[in-house]
Structure 1
Amino acid sequence: MQYSDWNGANQQWQLVRVGGTTQPPAGTFTNPVVWQDFADGDIIRVGDTYYYSASNMHYSPGAPILRSYDLVNWEYAGHSVPRLDFDSAAYDLGGSRAYVKGVFASTLNYRRSNGTYYWIGCVEYNRTYVYTASAVDGAWSKRARINNCYYDAGLLIDDDDTMYVAYGNTTISVAQLSADGLSQVRAQQVFQTPSSVGTLEGARFYKRGGYYYIWLTRPANGQYVLRSTSPFGPYEMRQVLLDMPGPISGGGVPHQGGLVQTQAGDWYYMSFVDAFPGGRVPALAPISWSSDGWPTVQTVNGGWGATYPKPNISTTRTVQPMTANDTFTGTRLGPRWEWNHNPDDTRWSLSNGLRLQTATVTNDLYNARNTLTHRVQGPASTATVELDYSTMRDGDRSGLAMLRDSSAWIGIRRDNGQTRVVMTNGLTMGSGWTTTGTGTEAASAGISGGRIWLRARADVRPGAGRQATFSYSTDGTNFTALGPGFTLNNAWQFYPGYRYAMFNYATQALGGSVTVKRFQMTAP
């Protein structure tokens, strides 16, 4: 058997083999701790609860938050941005669109003096918004717009309750906020990245032992840290990691993310790993501090460990699984769900299932409103949708898609009073995220009865050539494959990974609807 043991002389975890088995021991965890697309993370602890805030670009609601009680097991908790209310019709698919805009590299923190959570993020490189809430899973409110871009922001609340934001790309600055945290008092450049390093961004801001630390990433293969005795510098720089082997076969170097201290005083680093076509997924590693106050990632055989001992956190609290089985019986959608752009709230409802009325007349899925998405669970998972299509109208299209800048779907077409189940591929976007292909029907079969089960299985292990396959059933038990395998795009430029997406749009006229009775995602 192998187990991890801390080697103090070499400042790394080393694997120790005992006997003939390679099973990990009890009391360990495996990276990635969440194999779903949660990039640009900020991580905090409030009491005995950990929160992780991430990017989600053009998906709504924005700024998803995960919750954990042990740093290893996570659940969906909420969103800091209830709606992408960013002064642009593009976020409503109102004649233009906002793909790969919206929420990225924002920051989350908790201010104990007033019991308030703050989310701060720059949108479209020219303005910053501040949202607040008294509970992560409660009601968030947009409180302020600051006409300065806090690019890749990191929020620090100092010992004297002063709020500071570190931000920038290559040129790193610090802003001091007003007493209420809703406006800027002062901003100053504090560091210029040496040309030998290149680009530094992704700021996170901390204070420890009298020092201020700005945690910075070199995309997408390095991590650096700045240190000063004043929030406004001067700062000195150290390299934390560069080209460190990651914990996912075929994946990238762990980088960006943030630091958090446990109740026991231990420190951990939650980074993300590029793992396309699935996206960028969180990985956890212990941090140690040198006697002179610099952080070091504890490694396994010179790399970011695929396995580490679990954090020393005692808790009896549990979390809901990241995989889903939703019958849509509540009064609102759970935090695992995000719409592709803002939805038209007059054209969907929850009542004995998720009712999706057609909200757009289009032949382009990328322009269709009220497409509801769920992240794909890696390394492979299967999504199954039970769909009542009995109230579709001629020209309507409804189904289950693998959604990204290259997409495919299985679903129902209703034309001239007849319904068919079809597999459609060839939905594509170009480099400017405009549609270059609206899809080609690759296979079909006649269907009747008003109810169908649609299934997509996705292999999102990092690398080229990964595929999704589609099938359908008329009884929920026996499934028939439909169409060829769909090759998933693993290019990073679109940023979000593939999602399962449920849609219903019209090509002729509004008025039709479908009801999703159940969504289930399973992983081996």
Structure 2
Amino acid sequence: MHMSWPWPEQSFSRRRALAAATGLAAGAVLPLAGASRAASAPVGEPALAAGEYTNPVIWQDFADIDVIRVGDTYYASASTMHYSPGAPVLRSYDLVHWEIAGHSVPVLDFGAKYDLNGARGYVRGIWASSLAYRPSNRTFYWLGQIDFARTYVYTATAAEGPWSRLTTIGTPYYDAGLLVDSDDTLYVAYGNTTISVAQLSPDGRSQVRTQQVFTTPSSIGTLEGSRFYKINGQYYIFLTRPANGQYILKSSGGPFGPYTLRQVLLDLRGPISGGGVPHQGGLVQTQSGAWYYLAFVDAYPGGRMPALAPVTWTSDGWPVVQTVNGAWGTTYPSPAVPAPPRQVTPMTGVDAFDGTSLKPRWEWNHNPDNTKWSLGNGLTLRTATVTNDLYWARNTLTHRIQGPTSTATVQLDHSAMTDGDRAGLALLRDSSAWIGLKREGGTTRLVMVNGLTMDTNWNTTGTGYEAASAPVTGTRVWLRASADIRPGSARPGRFSYSTDGVTFTRLGPDFSMGNDWRFFMGYRFALFSYATRALGGSVRVTRFELATP
């Protein structure tokens, strides 16, 4: 799950400290997946179709990618930390255009801290994990460790769900990759620096055996983020050196080795200007036999963005990432795949909050109190927490930002707010700001609030201050936040409002969106409603639009 650009040693030391606090080894990366992960022999040059695609293929925050193909459909999973539901399942028919199909972890029921109940789960939760498909029972599997304590396995017969917990396993498989072998045996590769392989029981509910298979040489440093494959009868463990390298372990002697190590890439220039080195992703084979590597690029303040490159193979069975002028290409020829059965659902556009459930583009900041929100004639957010700290407020609903720049506009009915309530639209991370409404003394005002901050232990250090305000009339207002998430330096977020949905007025100064990596997740747009005095008030969001220039 782990990324450490541009200071790998600092990131790992922080991981080690975190692990020490829980008594386990440090490191974290997303495991692998398979369709099964056992695959046919590598082929040479990828078959190319007319046209090209541009990297990043998704300019939204999806890190620690695991990618598989099931028939003519591609699926990927990603880290979500403290957001709920967790572990999104992405779907594509061409490896380039993706939609969010669902989530493998419906609720983070791993302790009260994930409910914002007396403790908080920021930068915990769903780290690098694995997605796989088992043909023998036509079932999808998600596997990941939580809090260095144990491993959870969820299953579903359809990628969009419903997903349910199959089991917990006492061994925490850190940054695990799940392999469904050609004989249907389940194996897990996992670990940080010391890499191990576990064999699971036929029903996937328990561990049969585990064995250390590799120790990373000190000259390399840290390896983690396992993905596990069987290709042409040989076993491969794809490993990440955070956050600038990829290595491969290869065994012709079975899943428990012995393994030989080879470097796949190191310090390769990435396709996003100002961003990092593509790393910590997965391999996948198309229907025509071509291979691709879907990795992510550190690109803060927005997060970690998926990028795709073709892979060829040496005569002795090692993968080679195809580069353009010595770099991961900004463009490549499009994969040669069958015509898609339909167009995927865009990750931008309008949500009127129709239907009976939230669309999978939305994730809550920690688990919601489901008694305090509802759908029907829009999204109603009833206050769920009495606090003066947005970071403690339950039922804050978040949406990834579209890069390189995008704007979120919300139509909000504030007629049911009560004194002491706060509601609005935030740019949410460990340093945050928002535009919204304050209700005091029977009067509602528009405000822009800056200075919400956390320290590196994710404790609140600033609850914000009012940087600008304006009167508001009527019961309906449009709130807008514009975000520039191009990496390389701190970027501006800007807030504005409208009383008619047409003419918008700036409110407050630019908000500087920090590009520090340590929170891992990138900035998000966030809808919130909380009380500072007493519960009982609410707001109704009737429209959300995410638009790019």
TM-score (ref. length: structure 2): 0.91
Partner residue of 1:213?
Answer: 236
| Residue 237 of structure 2 is aligned to residue 177 of structure 1 | no
Deviation at 1:182, TM superposition (A): 1.3
CA distance in 1, matches of 2:208, 2:459: 40
Alpha-carbon distance in structure 1 between the residues aligned to 2:226 and 2:496: 44
1:465 deviation in Å?
2.5
Per the alignment, residue 6 of structure 1 pairs with none
Q: Take 2:192 and 2:202, find their aligned partners in 1: how far apart are those partners?
A: 26
Matched, 1:352 2:377: yes
Q: Quick check: 1:250–1:275 contact (8 Å CA) kept in 2?
A: yes
- Of 418, 421, 431, the match for 2:443: 418
Could you tell me whether the CA contact under 8 Å between 2:128 and 2:225 is conserved in 1? Answer: yes
The answer for the alignment partner of 1:109 in structure 2 is: 132
Determine the C-alpha separation between the residues in 2 that align with 1:434 and 1:143: 34
Q: Pick one of 199, 203, 211 that aligns with 1:188.
A: 211
From 259, 269, 285, the counterpart of 2:283 = 259
Query: Offset of 1:519 from its aligned partner?
Result: 0.4
Q: For residue 83 of structure 2, what is the amino acid of its counterpart?
A: Y
Alignment of 1:333-344 (within 5 A): 333-344=358-369
Structure 2 residues without counterparts, runs of 5 or longer: 1-43
Q: Note the 1:106-505 alignment, pairs <5 A.
A: 106-229=129-252, 230-317=254-341, 318-505=343-530
Q: State the distance in 2 between where 1:34 and 1:415 align.
A: 42
Per-residue deviation, residues 244-287 of structure 1 (Å, max 9, x unmatched) = 00000000000011000000000000000000000001000000
* Aligned equivalents of 1:457, 1:261: Cα separation in 2: 38
Matches of 2:417 and 2:45, distance apart in 1: 60
Shift of 1:126: 1.7
- What is the count of residue pairs matched by the alignment? 502
Partner of 1:48: 72
Q: Indicate conservation of the 8 Å contact 2:416/2:539, yes or no.
A: yes
Cα distance in 2 for residues equivalent to 1:36 and 1:124: 25
The secondary structure found in structure 2 opposite 1:310 is strand
CA distance in 1, matches of 2:468, 2:45: 53
1:109-160 per-residue CA deviation (whole Å, 9 max, x = no partner) reads: 0000001111000001121000011101121111111111100000101110
Instruction: Tell whether the 8 Å contact from 2:56 to 2:307 is kept in structure 1 after alignment.
Output: yes
1:12, 1:302 within 8 Å by CA — same for their partners in 2? no
The Cα offsets for residues 184-217 of structure 1, whole Å up to 9 and x where unpaired, read as 0000000000111110000000011111000000
Question: Residue 16 of structure 1 corresponds to which residue in structure 2?
Answer: none
Deviations 1:1-31 (A, max 9, x none): xxxxxxxxxx999xxxxxxxxxxx9600000
CA contact (8 A) 1:276 1:461 kept: yes
Q: Deviations over 1:161-193 (max 9, x none)?
A: 000000000000000000001110000000000
Distance between the aligned counterparts of 1:448 and 1:347, measured in 2? 26
Alpha-carbon distance between aligned partners in 2 of 1:217 and 1:304, rounded to the nearest angstrom: 16
Q: Give 1:80's aligned residue.
A: 104
Structure 1 residue 457: Cα displacement? 0.2
Provide the residue aligned with 1:61 in structure 2: 85
Give the distance between the partners of 2:489 and 2:432, measured in 1 at CA.
Answer: 15
1:345 counterpart SS class: coil
SS at match of 2:521: coil
Report the secondary structure of 1:299's partner residue: coil
Distance in 1 (alpha carbons) for counterparts of 2:490 and 2:63: 23
2:26 corresponds in structure 1 to: none
Assess if the C-alpha contact under 8 Å between 1:12 and 1:298 holds in 2. no
1:158 is matched by which residue type in structure 2? Answer: D
Structure 2 match to 1:91: 114
Does the 8 Å CA contact 2:94/2:340 hold for their aligned counterparts?
no
What is the root-mean-square deviation of aligned Cα atoms in Å? 1.1
Report how far residue 316 of structure 1 moved.
Answer: 3.2
1:432-462 alpha-carbon deviations (Å, 9 max, x no partner):
0010000000000011200000000000000
- Kindly indicate whether the alpha-carbon contact (under 8 Å) linking 2:351 and 2:545 is maintained by their aligned counterparts in 1: yes
SS at match of 2:371: helix
What per-residue deviation string (whole Å, max 9, x for no partner) do you get for residues 412-439 of structure 1?
0000000100000000000100100000
* 1:288 partner letter: T
**3-state DSSP class of the match of 2:159?**
coil
**Letter paired with 2:321:** V
Alpha-carbon distance in structure 2 between the residues aligned to 1:256 and 1:394:
48
Q: Distance in 1 between matches of 2:138 and 2:416?
A: 48
Q: Which residue of 1 aligns with 2:27?
A: none
Give the structure-1-normalised TM-score: 0.95
- Distance, in Å, in 2 between the alignment partners of 1:359 and 1:491 is 30
